[in-house]
Amino acid sequence: MSDFLMVTDLGIEGLSRLIDLAGDVKADPSRVAGRLAGAKIGLFFQKPSTRTRVSAEGAAADLGAHPIVLRNDEVGLGRREAVEDVARVLDRYLDLLAFRVFDHGDLVAIARHADAPTVNLLSDLSHPCQALADLQTIAENRAVAGTILTYVGDGNNVCHSLMLAGAMSGMEVRVAHPPGYAPLDAITEEATTLAVATGGAIEVGTDAQELVAGAHVVYTDVWASMGQEDQAEERRRVFAPYRVDEDLFGLAAPDAIFLHCLPAHRGEEVTAGVLESPRSRVFDQAENRLHAFKALLLHLFDAID
Ligand code: CP
Ligand code: NVA
């Protein structure tokens, strides 16, 4: 059994198989119902969550596993108890540890001190479970390889996972960010290397109009992530030219779809018109968090046919 801290942990073939499995699980949930009977899955949240918590808890239940949700005001990760001690204790009770944390380093420490698979439910560095649902949603609309996806906004956790997952899937991933808000160089470099292997491409720049032109998928995320609330005002000013509005979305391919990991702030990173347009797939994308997480659990428990 392995960990899932970054989408790259799956490998290129593994990611492709997992997206196919997520599609199969969505088409026929009964095929895998109850398959993880008896397993106990911990879901820990150091930050708020709607989609991740409910999709993960629901996925575990559908597979017959027992989810146990832990909140940080109970656990006090790194405050009430050392991160490595929390990991070692939970490892004695649970078959899988899934954590949403501020500091990705905490996830690495948990994975190191627990034998059970450790899953990243979002960290400051990445949001790999989201990227699985993103790819599944794209696959429902067009062939993933060769897709041009433009991410507009902050070079954040969601952007990082999308760059890596897109590069692993042969996509051309373009990132349009305000000056000073680029994705981490290390992620851009890793994604670029992966893209060479798959026939994909990575382009990072600040000209949103140029980078959205001709895209098949336009994607954005909040301007201020959880934990950056004190920067929200400054970010509203800096990111305003990067709002996905009808004009910007209109530069994409005529049949382009719009994606957003949600929660969305209408009138900030996206207009209500784009979010609610017939070409928006954001609620399919949210639904796919459930199917993709089931596929991930089946993979991590080696419970695939
Ligand atoms: N997209 C996403 O992860 O949503 P939540 O923060 O509500 O879990
Ligand atoms: N970038 C956002 C994603 C929320 C799902 C955050 O980290 O808050």
User: 3-state DSSP: the chain helix, strand, coil percent, rounded to 5?
Assistant: 50, 15, 35
Residue 114 DSSP code: -
| 298 contacts 35 by C-beta, under 8 angstroms | yes
Question: Is any atom of ligand 1 closer than 6 Å to the C-beta of 52?
Answer: yes
Residues serving a catalytic function are 100, 127, 130, 221, 261, 289
Question: pLDDT tens across 84-121, in order?
Answer: 999 999 999 999 999 999 999 999 999 999 999 999 99
d(CA 258, CA 255): 10
Going by pLDDT thresholds of 50, 70 and 90, the confidence category of residue 289 is: very high
Listed by start position, the domains of the chain span: 7-127+289-300, 141-280
Question: pLDDT tens across 157-169, in order?
Answer: 999 999 999 999 9
Task: Compute how many other C-beta atoms are within 10 angstroms of the C-beta atom of residue 103.
Answer: 16
Residue nearest to atom 5 of ligand 1 (CA): 49
CATH of 7-127+289-300, one of 1.10.3720.10, 3.30.2040.10, 3.40.50.12660, 3.40.50.1370: 3.40.50.1370
Check for a shared fold between 7-127+289-300 and 141-280.
Answer: yes
Return the residue matching tokens 């760059």.
163
**pTM of the prediction?**
0.98
Question: pLDDT tens across 39-91, in order?
Answer: 999 999 999 999 999 999 999 999 999 999 999 999 999 999 999 999 999 99
Question: With pLDDT > 70 as the criterion, what percentage of the chain qualifies?
Answer: 100
d(CA 175, CA 220): 10
Q: Where are the beta strands (DSSP E) in 110-167?
A: 118-120, 148-152
Question: Is any atom of ligand 1 closer than 6 Å to the C-beta of 50?
Answer: yes
Going by pLDDT thresholds of 50, 70 and 90, the confidence category of residue 305 is: confident
CATH class in words for 141-280 = alpha beta
Q: Edge-to-edge, what's the strand order for the sheet holding 66-71?
A: 66-71, 40-45, 96-100, 118-120
